[in-house]
A and B are shown apart, each in its own frame.
Chain A
Amino acid sequence: MNIKIKKAIHNRELEALSLLTVIVMWQFAADLLVKNKLFLPSFVDVVLSFLKVIKSGAIYTDLSVSLLHFVIGMFLAFIIGLPIGIMMGWFKGANHVFDPVIEILRPIPPLAWIPFAIIWFGLTHQSAGFVVFIGAVFPIIINTYTGFKSVPVVYVEAAKVLGCMRDQNLIRYVALPSALPSIAAGVRIAMGVGWMCLVAAEMFGVSNNGLGYKIWWHYHLHQMDFVLVYMLLLGFLGLLIDRVFRYYVDDRLLKWRVGVVM
C-alpha cells in the first residue's frame, strides 16, 4: 500500500472503518451462518426494531423511567456518600466510626440487596433507585475519603496562616477543591457501577417500563432483536453520560489541573 494513502487514513476513519467491519461481519454471520433470528438477529433486524421502538414512542418512556431510577440512586449516593467520605477523611474519630461498617457492607454485591429493596420500598421506582444507590455510594465514599486524606498539608497550613481556621472553612475552601479530582473520579466509577445495577434493579418489575425491564420483557417474548436494541441503548447511553460528565468536570471544574503530569 502506498505510504501517502496510509497517511491519509486518519484515526477517525480507522475507527469508523473498524465499526463498519464489525457491522458487516455481524450482518454476514446472521444472514448466512446462523440463519436464526432467535440466536442472532442481524444488524438490519435490530435497526428495524429500533425504528419500531421509536415509532411506538416506547423508547421515550423507557428512557425517562430508567433515567429516573438512575438519578434517584446517584443523587442519594452523592448526598449521603460525600458527607460520609468528608467526615472520614477529615475527622480521625469519624473514620473509626464508619470504617468497620463500610468495610463489611461494601463487599456485598449490590444485587444481593434486591430482596430488601422490595420489602422496604415495594415495587416502586424508589426500590430500583435504592439498588443503584447501593452500587454507587461506596465508590463515592471511598474516593472522597482518599481525596481528603491526600490533601497536601502545606495547603492547609497556608490557609491557616491566612486566617482560615475553622474546620468548616478549611473543608470548604481547601480540602474540598483539593480533593475534587479524586471525588470526580469516584463519581465516574459510581455512575458506571450504578448504570450496571440498573438492569438488575428493573428486572424484578418495579414498573412496566425502563431499559432494563424491557430487556427481560422482550426476552420472555423471544424477541431477541428488541433485546439487542435495548442492550445497545444501555451501552450508548452509558457512554454518553460518561462523556458529558467528563467534559463538564475536566473542562470546567478541573481546568486548573491542565499541565499536571498524570
Chain B
Amino acid sequence: MGRLTVNNVSRTFYKGNGAPTIALSDITLEIKDKEFVCFIGPSGCGKTTLLRIIAGLDTPTSGEILLDGTKISVPDAKRGMVFQEYSLFPWRTVIDNIAFGPQMQGKNKKESLKIAEKYLELVGLEQFKNSYPYELSGGMRQRVAIARALANDPKVLIMDEPFGALDAQTRNTLQHELLEIWRKNNITILFVTHSMDEAVFLADRIVVMSARPGKIIDIIDVDLPHLRDRTAPESNELRNHVLKLLAEEREK
C-alpha cells in the first residue's frame, strides 16, 4: 500500500539574519494508493520542499506525514526518489548504481545484482549494464535513476522535476515509459513539474500551488483515460484551466 496523508504541514526557513520565509503553509492532502499526482506551481511555491519532506530529507516545522497510517520522519526504502539533477553515483557502473538500494537493504551482492538486472531490463538499458554514468545521455541517466529508485520496491515514488533537464523528444518518450512502469509496478507517484503539458499528460490529479506562502490553491481531477492525446480538446481545456489559476495567482 502507498496511501499518503499530509496533515497540516508547514515549513519555515530562517535566513542568516533570522528573517523567516514561509515555504509551506498548512498543507493538508490525502493521496490514494497507486495514484499519480502532479504538483505544479511557480518557482518558490514549496513543491520541492513538500516532496523533500515526504521523502524524509527535510523536517516540517509543524504537522505530520503518514504513510499507510504510520508517521514518517526519516528516509527509508519504502519511499524512492528521483532527483532533478543527475544523482547517479559516478564511481559506480549502471548496474552497481541500481544494485545500491538492495545492497543497503542487506541483500548480498548476487541477489542485489539479480534485482538490478530486472530493473535495468524494465528501463531498456541492458547494453549499458557496465557503463559509467558519464558515458550515458541525460535521458538514459534519468532512466537509470528511475530503475535505481524502483529496485528497492518502494510503495511511493517521489519525482522532483525528473525530466526538467531533458529535450522535448526525450521527455515525451520518458513520460510514456514512466506511465508503463507505473502501470506495471502498482506504485503511488508524486511528481513535481513546471510543465502544464506534462501534468495533464501524466496525472490522475493535479495539485496547483501558489508561492509565498506556499499553499494549495486547487486540486484538479483528471478523468481522462491513459494514454492521453496531448492535443485533444479535453487536454487543452485542462491546461487552460490550470494556466488561468496560476495567472490569477500571479496578479494577486
Contacts and interface: CB of A to CB of B under 8 A. Distances in A.
Interface of A: 154-155, 157-165, 169, 173-174, 177-178, 180, 255-260
B134 A160 contact: no
B202 interface: no
Given A165-B75, A256-B91, A158 B134 contact: no
16 contacts: A154-B83, A157-B57, A157-B83, A158-B88, A161-B56, A161-B149, A161-B158, A162-B80, A162-B152, A163-B105, A164-B100, A177-B89, A177-B91, A177-B92, A178-B91, A256-B133
Q: Is the interface of A mostly helix, strand, loop or mixed?
A: helix
A165 B76 CA distance: 8
B134 A258 contact: yes
B55 A169 contact: no
Interface residues of B, number: 30
Given A154-B85, A155-B87, A256-B90, A162 B134 contact: no
B169 to A, nearest CB: 24
Interface of B: 55-57, 74-77, 79-81, 83, 85, 87-92, 100-101, 104-105, 132-135, 148-149, 152, 158
B132 A162 contact: no
Given A158-B87, A257-B90, A165 B74 contact: yes
B162 to A, nearest CB: 12
**Which of A162, A163, A169, A260 has the most CB atoms of chain B within a 10 A radius of its CB?**
A162
Contacts of A158: 81, 83, 87-89
A256 B89 CA distance: 10
Nearest to B135: A259
B91 A162 contact: no
Nearest to B80: A161
Nearest to B52: A157
A256 B134 contact: yes
Contacts of A257: 90, 134
Given A157-B57, A259-B135, A163 B77 contact: yes
Contacts of B85: 154
